[in-house]
Structure 1
């Protein structure tokens, strides 16, 4: 069964992808050169100008940006659009120092939600599904990203956020949730709690889980799948590049597809 949210984009040839990447890279480099002093300074220090970037092959000419670089620009140093065009922020946790703040225009949010919608669709999600989003919300990107992606697919979205496990189980069973989005460790814990309450895999309406925000093993995947009676799919993202949906697994479960 084909599982594409945006088939033309997701099945584009390598040549088509490279052409789009070249066009967008040139445009983005010119944009940050003109509008973000931090990036212009980095490029000048590396002896690079926008004229040096003529194809995706020139990506290697651009200087590296580190996590510390991003932290040092808190709060507004990375802003590339007028503040009046920005409609939301998300941020990292700040556990290792200053937070990294990401600013989103409505266009950014639309693109981000499209990427998450591709992940949900690849996991088998349709407008007939009930998608329970049990990632944290607030400044953390997990909940907002999958929530928006679920809306785009047309699922009935249940924004439970994280924690309160018995309530999570109540909604799964009462609303007959078919897709679960959360961290793999929480999925494992939720599965064990459901087992304690007497639910077996055949009792649980879930069919798929989209799990990310932490590392997990194949052994853990198989354990979750067995306990919940689902197919478990990996998803990856980071605040600095929108959030979840940077890459995701399809039904093959043999590695992630990057949303290039």
Structure 2
């Protein structure tokens, strides 16, 4: 793997908050939390309605544990107040607006003051620096630009760090390859499945991805496994690190992973207070180390303060390592709203990815199809064989994967091993689940 300088040798120093102790961070969190909840209650009608209905008031927050007294915020709240009902500042103070695609309903709209944008760029730069990206490097940004927060969020972070940004955006894979070869970037920013798509396309052209100038890949916007990290690092001979964020909380840069430890993303807790709740009983807050659904409260946002926002991402909180005062997120195992309940068994696409990459001859390219041919749901896993895997070997590999899924997940399914290049490729976030049941 690429050798990188420790943070102490980087030209620009760490933010003072990055080196705070745990006690210092929690003291700062409490002060900022009290201010944020009062600010949201006074300025956003939905919060006042929710808190009054629940019988809680901002003055009830005396210690960090009191946050659990306050109601959750859901994506549906943002849809219900569409477009600008959750904004806490007048329109003339909103410097930028982003929005989700709205493919599963009305779009969720988020806004930023100039101070919010400055914080976003600062935290994103922290993430890139933690992952090994250095000032002066060339950074190829293949996140999509536009209303999606990925492209512009990563762009501002890279500029704040002091890199030269190549704003390629997503798609046009052949052009991506040309620019990577011609411009010789040191780092790439995109989703993990899209980096895999780029690598596959390079190999089809006879280009060895390991021959490129890329040293670091900062990957996010979708869950991915340690097995996928290994696949990409071997394919490109680089360090692959995670970055976490979502539009409603801020965008990419809420948490970032160290290339020195590669043990999960450190949450910037001077700006966000994370919680883990029981995904099946949200009233229960889980202790650190226990798996559940991730919930975020913003501590400094002006345009769109977000209180106890349910992300539906499933993970756990762990002690900090590369940044000891800031807790880490364990790798996201999936989303509670992406969970497949198959004949009483809970299953996530990331579980299939983890098992598939343990089987020789099978590639990371797969999709899940759910059907109901009779009264029972059926799952089919369509997965590509690798180029060097013959049809006969592919049949045996499929049976091996079927057995692993039965053992480790506890559900039976059909495995269809298909030819290379026969499944859709990622140009951003990849769709894994196809629900073909009649509604």
TM exceeds 0.5?
yes
Q: Quote the residue 1:65 is aligned against.
A: 73
**C-alpha displacement of 1:57:** 2.2
Whether contact under 8 Å (1:89, 1:101) holds in the other structure is yes
Q: Structure 1 or 2: larger helix share?
A: 1
Alignment of 1:36-185 (within 5 A): 36-185=44-193
Whether contact under 8 Å (1:192, 1:227) holds in the other structure is no
> Which of 8, 17, 21 pairs up with 1:9?
17
> Which of 237, 262, 267 pairs up with 1:253?
262
Unaligned ranges ≥5, structure 1 = none
Cα distance between partner residues in 1 of 2:126 and 2:135: 13
Structure 1: 4+ residue segments shifted above 4 A: none
**C-alpha displacement of 1:24:** 0.7
**C-alpha displacement of 1:173:** 1.5
Residue by residue over 1:159-210, the C-alpha shift from the partner in whole angstroms, topping out at 9 and shown as x without a partner, is 0000111111111111110110001110001011112222224421000001
* Matched positions, count: 260
Max radius of gyration: which structure?
A: 2
Cα distance between partner residues in 2 of 1:171 and 1:104: 32
Alignment of 1:173-252 (within 5 A): 173-251=181-259, 252=261
After TM superposition, the score normalised by the length of structure 1 is: 0.96
What RMSD in Å do the two structures reach over aligned CA positions?
1.3
With 73-82 and 50-59 compared, the bigger mean Cα shift is at 50-59
Residue by residue over 1:126-176, the C-alpha shift from the partner in whole angstroms, topping out at 9 and shown as x without a partner, is 222101110001000100111000000110000000011111111111111
Whether contact under 8 Å (2:130, 2:257) holds in the other structure is yes
Cα distance between partner residues in 1 of 2:184 and 2:213: 5
Whether contact under 8 Å (2:199, 2:209) holds in the other structure is no
Unaligned ranges ≥5, structure 2 = 1-5, 270-439
Whether contact under 8 Å (2:51, 2:57) holds in the other structure is yes
The DSSP-based 3-state class of the residue aligned with 1:243 is coil
**C-alpha displacement of 1:234:** 0.9
After TM superposition, the score normalised by the length of structure 2 is: 0.58
The DSSP-based 3-state class of the residue aligned with 2:266 is strand
